[in-house]
Amino acid sequence: MALSTRLAWPLRPVLAALHQAVRGQRRGLSIPVGPGRTLDLGGIFPPLATPFSPTQEVDYAQLEGNLRRYASIPFRGLVVLGSNGEYPYLATRERLEVVSCVRRALPRDRLLLAGSGCESTQATIELTVSMAEAGADVALVVTPCYYRGAMTSAALVQHYTEVADASPIPVVLYSVPANTGLDLPLEAVLTLAQHPNIVGIKDSGGDITRMGLMVHKTRQEDFQVLAGSAGFLMASYALGASGGVCALANVLGAPLCQLDRLCREGHWQEARDLQHRLIEPNTAVTRRFGIPGLKKAMEWFGYYGGPCRAPLAPLSPPQVEELRGAFSANSWL
C-alpha cells in the first residue's frame, strides 16, 4: 500500500526496515550484505535479453533454457526488463510473466532486479508494487523522459521520492541518456541517495568523472553505484563502483565475472588486459548494433538470441560479419 509522500523523512528508515523484513519473510530470502549495507549489489548482473519466437511472442521455454546456462556463472543476480530486455515493447502482462518465470528459476541467493519505470509516477508505483508481488527483489526505475524538457531536478526528485516511499522493495535509479535523452542530474542523485529505500544507481552514461563524484559524495549513505556498461567497468571499479549491469554479460558472462574478481583482488594488470579485450565486443553489442547485435552474438556462444520484436530489425549479412570481427579480433571466437 502506498505510503504518503508527505511522510517525514526521519520516519522512513523504520518503514524501510519493515519493508525489508516483510519481504524476507514473504519469500525466505537470504541475501548477503556488505558492511553497513542493507542490500549488497556488488558483482555482475546481466540485463537479460527477452527471447521471442519467430512469431514475436515471448518464448518462455527459451528463456528458461538461457537461465539454465547462466546458472553456472557466478553472477550476483539478474536484471529483467531493462533496455536490453526490449522493455518498451512488452505488455504489462508479459512483463510480470517474465519476472515470475525468472524468479522461479533463480536461486534465492541471487538478486532479481526488475525494470518498472513508466512515464507517470502513478503508473511507476503500480508497476513496482506488481513487480514485487511477482518476485522482484529490487526495482530498477528509469527516468521518465517523454516530457524531458519538464524533467527538472526537482521534478525527478519528487518522482523518485514518491516511488521509493510506496515501493515494498528497494529502488535502484536508472540513468541511460543514450535511450532517454536525459541524464539524471548529479544533484538529484545526491539528494535521492539519502532516501532509505533508494539503494543505488545504474549509470549507463559512461562519464567516469560523474561516477567518481557519485561514489565520493554518497560514501556516508547506504548507496551503491553500478556501471551500466562493460566498456568502462574496470575504470568504474577503480573509482569505487560496487558492480556492473552489462549487456555483454549475456554473451561473455564468465569473463566479466573474472574481471570483477580481478578488480576486487587488486590484480590490475590482468584486469586491464582483460578489459581491453572486452571493449570492442561491448561496443558492437551496444552502441554499434544494439539489441539485434546482442542477440546474434548470444547465438554464437550457446544461448538463444532469436528475433527482436518489431520495429527492431535483424542485422544485414555485412553487419553480422562486422559483429563477428569484433569478437574474433579479440580472441573470443
What are the counts of helices (DSSP H) followed by strands (DSSP E) for the chain? 13, 8
Distance CA 333, CA 327 (A): 6
Distance CA 168, CA 128 (A): 8
Choosing from 70, 174, 237, 304, which is the catalytic residue?
174
Choosing from 70, 87, 160, 202, which is the catalytic residue?
202
What region does 106 belong to: left with phi over 0, alpha with psi -120 to 50, or beta? beta
Q: Are 247 and 285 in contact (CB under 8 A)?
A: yes
Give the strands of the sheet with 224-227, arranged side by side.
Answer: 43-45, 243-245, 224-227, 198-203, 171-175, 138-142, 111-115, 77-80
Nearest CA among 225, 232, 291 for reference residue 259: 232
**Angle at the Cα of 144 (from 141 to 147), degrees rounded to 5?**
180
217 is catalytic: no
Distance CA 133, CA 298 (A): 30
Distance CA 148, CA 152 (A): 8
Note if the bond before 54 is cis, omega within 30 degrees. no
List, as residue ranges, the binding site.
Answer: 245
List, as residue ranges, the binding site for pyruvate.
Answer: 245
Distance CA 234, CA 278 (A): 11
Amino acid found at 249: A
**Per-residue CA distances from 32 to 170, 180, 309 (Å):** 15, 33, 37
Q: Are 141 and 171 in contact (CB under 8 A)?
A: yes
* Cell 524501510 found at: 16
202 is catalytic: yes
Please identify every residue annotated as catalytic: 174, 202
